Structure 1
Amino acid sequence: MSIYVGNLDYSVTSEDLSEVFAEYGTVKRVHLPTDRETGRLRGFGFVEMGTEDEEASAISELNGAEWMGRELKVNQARPREDRPKSGGGRRNNRF
């Protein structure tokens, strides 16, 4: 299971997020996606913890909590949906 953490400040680091979640158990991994073109953080991240009980505790305690001036959105991450492949950059493909 993985935890989705939304509404993050754009200056947050993996270490910052790890410290917050470590209060609820062992943090195995933190991932902060960045925008492909700008390299800027996208304002959300994912945290994996040692056990499902630790993750449930972190979700329960941190969802809606204020951190770095923002109200966190914390819940169980959903699997990534398969996206259709692009048409090679062409628009309005007509056949």
Structure 2
Amino acid sequence: MLLLMVKPDGRTKAWVVTGDPAPSPETVLAVVEAVEAVPAPAVREGPILVGVGFDAWGGGAPPAGASPPIPRDWYGYFAKDGGRLDDAFMARVWPD
């Protein structure tokens, strides 16, 4: 899963979520850098988060658990009883 966050100021940040076996770190970094190099669309309010599922370079089975898959380090931003992927959550994941 490719996740892309776009903020109103034109900044973007990408994450790639894979199952096992995962592609090499170099492949994941190349995908992230290529996606972040694309000019962002205009966003008036946000941030916005877009997820795109893809199957390439031996990304393995989808990760068990979250649907849609989210980066493992995001789990630390949820409350013990879960949470939502809302603007407040996104601000914790990628602070200004």
How high is the TM-score relative to the length of structure 1? 0.31
Instruction: Say which structure is richer in strand.
Output: 1
Higher-Rg structure is 1
